[in-house]
Amino acid sequence: MIFFLGCDVAKPKLDISLINEHGIEQWTDTILNDERSIATTLLTITGAYSDDELVCVVEATSCFHLPLAETCYVLGIPCRIYNPLLTRQQIKATVRGKKTDKTDALMIARIGLRGEGRLYTHEPYRATKHYVRSCERLSILNSSFGQYKNHIIELLGGDLTNDAKELLTGIQQAIKEARAQIYKDTAASAQGDTFRLLQTIPGVGQFIAASLIGEIQDITRFDSAKALVAYAGLDPRIRQSGHTLNSTGRLTKRGSSHLRRNLFIAASVARRHDPQFEALYSKKRSEGKSYIVATCVVARKLLIVTRAVWLSGKPYTVPEFQIELKT
């Protein structure tokens, strides 16, 4: 018999529900969201049902589902991860119409029983992802702290002591040094053939290449360019009623906001240095599109080229990837 363990994830805890292959709940519990507690629980369940198969089911929730997924990987237990949109659809279809952790865990288990989601595969560049995101946060912190520092100096003027000024300057310098060091660690964690290969693409330097590797992890888990574009949230939002089908022209902005942001930065550079991306950008601007919309179109094509370069193992050249840009 196959048992499904539905896990409703939050930062501090997991609400879990175990059902059999007939959808009947066998057991519920609440545990800490750390690898030790998760491993203890999984080993207890597999020990109690030693002759049966266990499948864990969880929705992709920021990075909070990763301790469960990684523990399952180490223990050799299949873990299915699915889009949170399925949970929302299920909740809307129920009478209660709202979330409660206990019942959501049961609902998640039954979603797994239907075969929804994809099997989790180990993330080989997990450290790279965290390094990249830390760099981004430190960049924001450095900018914000600089503004606060200048504001304090303007307000207090001569009343601010030299010691206080030195302290503020020292804090800002420490943030810059920490960012510089993590930037180096980011590049070191992503080293390899793929890292060097992606840097042949216009607009993709060391940091952007590391960001692409950290956020995408394994390019083969995306069956098509369309799936990868959707993961970055660069696909247009569609609204449909009983009589009409309209595209709002706005991005869905689902998936990785970090990937989307860094692709936008890369696209703004690529369209100034590569004739194909420049032509695409100019075409959209001539159609009356704004700078942001036109750059998002370039970012979408840049991501498609990234996938082609990554899968082919060949460096970017204009003739080689010209067909990709026309799709």
According to DSSP, the β-strands at 53-59 and 79-82 are parallel
C-alpha closest to that of 266 among 323, 305, 324: 305
Q: Which of 119, 141, 161 delimits the end of a domain?
A: 119
Domain harbouring 70, CATH code:
3.30.420.10
Judgement on whether residues 317 and 203 belong to the same structural domain of the protein: yes
Instruction: Go through the chain and tell me how many residues it has.
Output: 327
CA distance 319 to 275: 11
Cβ distance 248 to 239 under 8 Å? yes
DSSP assignment, residue 158? G
How far CA 8 is from CA of 53, 69, 262, 301, in Å, comes to 20, 13, 30, 36
Q: Please report, in tens digits, the pLDDT of each residue of the chain (327 residues total).
A: 899 999 999 889 999 999 999 999 999 999 999 999 999 999 999 999 988 999 999 988 777 888 999 999 999 999 999 877 666 666 555 545 545 567 889 999 999 999 888 888 877 888 898 899 999 999 999 999 999 998 998 888 778 888 998 999 999 999 999 999 999 999 999 999 999 999 999 999 999 999 999 999 989 888 899 999 988 988 876 655 545 444 445 776 677 889 999 999 999 999 999 999 999 999 999 999 999 999 999 999 999 999 999 999 999 987 666 644 444
Judgement on whether residues 115 and 92 belong to the same structural domain of the protein: yes
Judgement on whether residues 182 and 288 belong to the same structural domain of the protein: no
Domain count, the chain: 3
Judgement on whether residues 134 and 213 belong to the same structural domain of the protein: no
Judgement on whether residues 134 and 97 belong to the same structural domain of the protein: no
Judgement on whether residues 97 and 175 belong to the same structural domain of the protein: no
Cβ distance 7 to 56 under 8 Å? yes
Cβ distance 35 to 71 under 8 Å? yes
Q: What is the span of the domain harbouring residue 142? A: 126-189
According to DSSP, the β-strands at 236-240 and 245-251 are antiparallel
Judgement on whether residues 205 and 276 belong to the same structural domain of the protein: yes
Phi, psi of 22 (to 5 degrees): -100, 0
Judgement on whether residues 170 and 218 belong to the same structural domain of the protein: no
pTM score? 0.72
Q: Which of 119, 144, 175 delimits the end of a domain?
A: 119
Helix (H) or strand (E) holding 55: strand 53-59
What separation, in Å, do the N-terminal and C-terminal C-alpha atoms of the chain show? Answer: 47
Judgement on whether residues 313 and 201 belong to the same structural domain of the protein: yes
